[in-house]
Amino acid sequence: MDRVLEYVSHHPWLATATAVVVALIAVYEMRARSESLVSVTPQELIRLMNQGALLLDLRAPEQYQAGHLAGARQMSGEQILKAADTLKKHKEKAVVVYDDTGSLGTAAARQLAAQGFTRAFTLRGGLAAWRADNLPLSRA
């Protein structure tokens, strides 16, 4: 322990930089774990779909028309903010939101959770991950 203190006293900038890097790694890991708690893989989504999950597509209407998950509803960001009123019968049900890449989905899932939805998820990697697994899209 004395050697560590001696090292820190002789190299304060290096010791500070090391502490900052360790703190950044800890923050990154905590953030990654918190996001993984609200995201599902395409395979997990299929299981949730079979159990009757509500799917919400956050993309623009023209993108939705070009191809979406079977049974999904198209909703805008403004509609997500008011979802507690429009989707109140689904508050205890699994609700999965997705977009093209998954970037908006995490924020939307957190917004739904803040509104009282107990099982709000996002599709990890968005529709791109769904397509990467060669899973089907609906065009109806």
Give the H/E segment covering residue 44.
Answer: helix 42-50
Residue 36 has pLDDT above 60, yes or no: no
pLDDT at 140: 67
Predicted model pTM: 0.72
Q: State mean pLDDT over 23-28.
A: 91
Query: What is the CATH T-level fold of the domain 39-132, as seen in this structure?
Result: Oxidized Rhodanese; domain 1 (3.40.250)
Cβ 127 vs Cβ 103: under 8 Å: no
pLDDT at 132: 94
For residue 56, give the nearest of 64, 44, 66 by alpha carbon: 64
Q: Rounded mean pLDDT of the chain?
A: 89
Interval 45-78: pLDDT, tens: 999 999 999 999 999 999 999 999 999 999 988 8
Interval 116-127: pLDDT, tens: 888 899 999 999
Confidence of residue 34 (pLDDT cuts 50, 70, 90): low
Residue boundaries of the structural domains of the chain:
2-36, 39-132
